Structure formats: C-alpha cells, structure tokens
Amino acid sequence: MKSNHSIQQPASRYKRWMRACCITIVLLATCGVVLNYVFPLPPLYPNGSAVVIKSQEGEVLRAFADMQGVRRTQLTSPDQVDPFYRQALLTYEDRWFYFHPGFNPFSIFRAAWQWGVNGHVVSGGSTLTMQVARLISPHSRSLSGKLTQLFRALQLEWFFSKDQILTLYLNLAPFGGNIEGVEAAAQRYFGKSAQLLTKSEAALLVVLPQKPSLYRPDRFPERAKAMRNKVLERLVRYNKLDQYSENFLQQEPVVVVPYFQPLQAPLLSRMLQQSYPHQAVMKTTIRADIQKRIHRLLTTVSQRLPAKSSAAIVVVDNVSANVIAYQGSADFNDVSRFSYVDMVQAVRSPGSTLKPFIYGTALDLGIIHSQSLLSDIPSSFSGYKPQNLNGKFQGAVSMSEALKQSLNIPLIQVFNKETPEVFDQKLQHAGIQLQHIKPNLAVGLGGTGTNLITLAAMYRTLATNGQYQPLQLLQNAKSVVSKPLLSPASSWIIFKTLSEISAPDRVVPSIRRQIAWKTGTSYGYRDFWSIGVSPDFTVGVWIGRPDSSPVVGYLGATQAAPIMFDAFDQLPRDQHQRIKPKDVVTKTICWPSGRDKQITPLAQCVSQRKAYTVRGITPPTLETDGRFLLPSLDTAQTTWPKRLANWQQQRGGIATPKGQGELEKRNARVVPYIKQIVTGQHYYKDQLDVLPLQTLDENVKVDWYVNNQPFTGNEIKLVDYSGKVRITACINGVCDKREIVVHP
C-alpha cells in the first residue's frame, strides 16, 4: 500500500510544473509588452499615402504617388480582387495563412534544413504575415534580420485580423518599377481592375512580387510566362485547378496592355490631395460621364481661345449641392495657358454677376418690384458715377428690363437705396464672404473678389427657393446647414426674369430646358463670366487670362455664354420644375407712381404693367437720390422722378405728362421689342412645335407679320414654315423685325 508521501509527490511536481508554466507565460507576455513598447510597429506607409481620387462611381480621376514616387491604390480589400487570385495567392504563398500565429514552424524548419544542407536558400519559409513584416520593416538577410521579421509578424498578428493583414499585403506587395499593390499592377499591366483578372493574369500577379524586377511581364515576357506556369502547376497539385485548364492556360502568351489613366478633373484632384494628404482614397461627387463630356468641350474650346487664355467650368446638381463636373483650366497639358492655375478657385472680379442678388435683396426689403420704374440717366451717387457698358442711356426702364440688359446705372440706383453694408451683411449671414476691405457701391459692378465655385453656389439658390449651401466635392462629407440668401418669392422672380433672356445664336438643343442666366465682364476686359440655372443644374463658366492681362473685344455674353449653353447640352434632362411660391403676387402697377393700380390716382397711371411682387407689396418709384417718389397733392397732376423727367424733356422724349390723356400720346410713340426670338437663330421642327410671339409691352396692341403677311394669334407653328422666316411686330407704324431659319 502506497504511502501518503508517494501519492502527494506527483501532485507536488504537477503544481510546480504549472507554476513554472504560468511564470514563463507571464515573463514572455511581459517581455513581449516591453519589446512592443521599445520597438513599436513602424508606420504602415512610411512614405505617406499614395492618394487616389475617384468619381462617385469609383472611377479613378487621378492618382498621386507617395513621397518616394511609389504608386499604389491603397485600401484594396480581399473582396475587391478576383476570387481566383486570392485562392491562387494563398495556395502558392501561404496555405496555412488563416491558421498559423504569424509564422509556420514547419516551413521555417524545412527552409533552415535545406539552407544548412545546400549552403543556400532552396525554399522560403516566410508566411504572408512575415512578408508584410519585411515590407513595413526592411531587414538584412541574416539571423538577426530573420528574428526581427518574426517579432514584427507576431506584432502584426496581435494588432490586426487576418483579413487586415491580407489587405496590407494586397496593397504593399511590389510589382516592378514604382508599382505597389495588386490593383495598381492590374491597371498598369493589363488595363483593368484586379476584380476582372483572368486566371492567367491572376497567376502571373501571384508570383510577380517574388522577384518583381526579373519577372516583369513588360520586359521579360518569357520568364514571366515560366513563373506563371509554375503557379498553375502548384494549383493543380493542390486540386485548385483541373489538368485540362492548366494545359490550356499554359499555352497562353503573356500579353501586356499598358494603360495610363487619363487625367480627369486634375486640378480638383490636386486640391483634394493637398487638403487631405493622409487620406489614401477619396471619392468625390464628380460624375465621370459628365466630367468627360465637359473635358471634351473645353478641349475643343481651348483651340479657339487667344494666346495665354484659359477657361473653367463647374457643373452643380441643384438638389444635392454636389459638384458633378469640375474643369479648372482649358487644357491641363498646355502650360502656355497657365494650365496649372485652378480658375474655379481663383479669386477674380465678378463683373455684373452679383446684380441678380442685389435686385433680389431689394425685392425682399420692399424697395422694388419686378416692374419698378428706374432711371437710366447720367447720375452721381455721392461722387460715384457709373456708366453703362455701351456708354448709352435709356431713360425710363423697369427693373426686370434693367436686369435683362445688365444696365449699370439703374442697378446702382437700387443698390444705393439698399446700401452695400446691408447687402454685405446679407451675404455673410448666408456664409458668403466677398473679398473687399469695405463694402461700397463699386461692389455692385464687380469692385470686389470672388470665385467661380462661390458664384455657382449663389446662383443655385435661384432654383432652391433662395437657400444657400456651400457646394459639396466629396461623397459622405459632413453636410452644411443651408441658410437663406433670398426669400422663395424673390428667388423665383429673379429666376423668371433671367429665364426670359434670349439665348445666343445657336441651334435649338435636343433637350429644351428653362435656363435663367446672367453674364458678366470685369473692368478692363479681364474676366468673362456666364452662369446659368435650370431647375436641376447650375453651370458656371469663366474665360480670361490667369495672369489678369486684358482680352480686348471679348464680352461675357459673346464668349462665355455660348460655352455655358453648350455645357447644358451635355447634361441629362431636368426632372423638376420651378414652382411659383404663394408669396409671389401678380399686381397691375402704374407708371410713374410704381404703386398698385387700385390705390393710384388716375393721373399717376400713365402706363400700366403686370408686376411680380413679394406678398403684394408695391413700393413707390425711386428718385435717383434714393428717396421714394411722393405723389402730387393735385390729383390731376402727374408726378415723374424729377431728374428723369428733365433728362427726357431735354431729349424730346416723354415729358412730364399732365393727365390720363397723355397715355395715348405715349402709346403713339412706343417702340416694340420682340422677346425671346433672336435674328439668325436656327430651329428644328422635330425639336420645337410652336414659337410664342411676345413683345415687352404686353398692354399695347401689336400688329404681327410673318414673311411680310399679316398674322393673327400669339404663336406660330413651325411645321407651316421652312427656310428663312421673317417675323415683324409693329405698333402704330413703328416696327421691330427678326429673321430666323427653320429646318425640317
């Protein structure tokens, strides 16, 4: 019978053994923690990110190398490569990848034995984890180097999952030259994504990282073919590929299809790369198909531009505030045009492009309505004496007509009443900062600075009920809360007014859309703008010389506007319509009083007009000094703005009328003006059914003639005409003519 001592002895030895194991584990863990603290993992991308900019569909717009000139497409995950490639990679390089702790003891012992017996390396013992360790922490081919590699592999396994380690390999593996990562290699050698590799291409890319300089398919195709076939043989050995497929694939030649990604939106890409240098992949709001169309358009345009001139276009989706096309220069490859200067972001004088928002703010402040009587006459506003671009004066003019014709003096008359300070505060409250020291009247005519992307964001408000929001360039970017720039009513009135401006002479587009548009030309003929808004899209165009030298003879209306309309032709059909807000109230107003007809004495209603008002408010007419026109106490006496009346009397125009009888005298001298039809314009019957016949003054009887024959009705059917068609409008013998061309 065994003694208690003999029974307790094995139990005591077991306890001592367990204690020793625990102490050993604690010591090893402590050693590991200390070593990890002393020798932490190095940066995974020590030379910075190789940044890739993509469209919203995922198409590469531009790729940037890291600080060492290495190109890669980072963040390529295992599910973003061809499944056969993944299977072939694990079978050929590391069959036990998902089971070992970072190193394979059997592979290491085998490699060490072969090395000792043969005196050189026969087969490698590195796992994929160890290969990643060597890529992020290069070491010498020595025992100490191998131990360092093992330590790094254990660190990787501790901090990262298996799929994350595999992702690192897919992005860091060398593939020859300055190419790293399987996605960049697939694009460079085969012109396709790593998701679309054939079995032959996948097998070649599996073996290429072993000796990328010697196995490069573009330099050593036969050597690359032999190594590819070696991969195929191993796949058959491990039942990952059948013998028939192997025989077939081994006969395929190595075919390289060099592919160099064309640059799309290069200046936008450069700006994003500089703004977010540590973000490897950025998905923009750019739509690749529209970007390519705009790129082709500007490439054609650049051939017609004067020397050293450039152009820029930005296209916006109004609903989302996303920039869907961004072309910062006319030709990125033409250095003589300062192609490296991004004219979408460059601060320039906006010319007349701020006028719609000055008038819109005045509508909201109750200073004017759409048909307010303004004075286009020589004027001085505290010493500031604006001039119209053509140097001429029209006298009495409505707000809507002054905006359509981009007259300067009526604009400053309204701006002076509104005050530049109020307008500037309005912009700042919405989040818009113009570049000037102190707001003054010159701001209204371009005496400030802004850029194309800001103007596009401002014009977008005409389609969004006046709500301003900075434009988005990156997908999933933090959205900015929109703020009111104009009221829904005033934004609609401005949109309606600008949409009535006739387009420049051009073929009627296949997609007809309502476009509110405005042009601008800066002082000294340095900047030429055209910005248009449809219900769904905003298009902004700038033309000029980036060095600010003048281009004499150019105008925004003649140079930038045609390009803007051509850009609209590249866009899909609009899906929305601009709906009139309930606060827009149509009123019959009177000139010269400017007030509602119902509250205006007969003597003050020399001329009647249909006006769009904000909530029915009909403010009195403005004097040039900013005061509202005071009606005469004598109800039989007509009161016109004094300086306007004096100017018109001196030129034999409309004198100060003295009663309703003067209405007939004025109608006898009305000069008709045909709206929306431009001489030389071409129309196609399959694109347009009818053409409306309208003049500016809708309250006067007009006699219409088509091809010199009397015509009744307010529209003509194009199906009834062909070739040149002459349209004439006459009022009491005074006529306006247009000549168009109708095609089958």
Q: Catalytic site residue 352?
A: yes
How many angstroms separate the CA atoms of 704 and 711, rounded?
Answer: 5
Locus of tokens 């109800």: 635
CA-nearest of 152, 144, 149, 146 to 40 is 152
- Residue 143 is given by DSSP the state H
CA-nearest of 52, 46, 53 to 67 is 46
Q: Dihedral (C-alpha) 730, 732, 734, 737: value to the nearest 10 degrees?
A: 0
Q: Is 567 left (phi over 0), alpha (psi -120 to 50) or beta?
A: alpha
Catalytic annotation, pick one of 137, 329, 352, 530: 352
Compute the Cα dihedral for 304, 448, 454, 61 and give only its sign.
Answer: positive
Helix (H) or strand (E) holding 517: strand 516-521
How many angstroms separate the CA atoms of 473 and 324, rounded?
Answer: 8
How many angstroms separate the CA atoms of 452 and 345, rounded?
Answer: 6
Locus of tokens 């106490």: 633
Contact 675, 736 (CB under 8 A): no
Own/partner long-range contacts of 211-219 (Cβ < 8 Å, ≥24 apart)? 212/174, 212/175, 212/176, 212/177, 213/176, 215/176, 216/176, 216/177, 217/189, 217/254, 217/256, 218/176, 218/189, 218/256, 218/258, 219/176
Q: Catalytic site residue 193?
A: no
Write out the DSSP string of 551-566. -TT--IIIIIHHHHHH
Catalytic annotation, pick one of 49, 55, 93, 107: 93
Cβ neighbors of 564 (< 8 A, separation 6 or more) are: 517, 530, 531, 532, 539, 540, 541
Hey, what are 205's tokens?
């890319």
How many angstroms separate the CA atoms of 339 and 115, rounded?
Answer: 58
Q: Under DSSP, is residue 226 helix (H, G, I), strand (E, B) or coil?
A: helix
- Which residues participate in catalysis according to the annotation? 93, 352
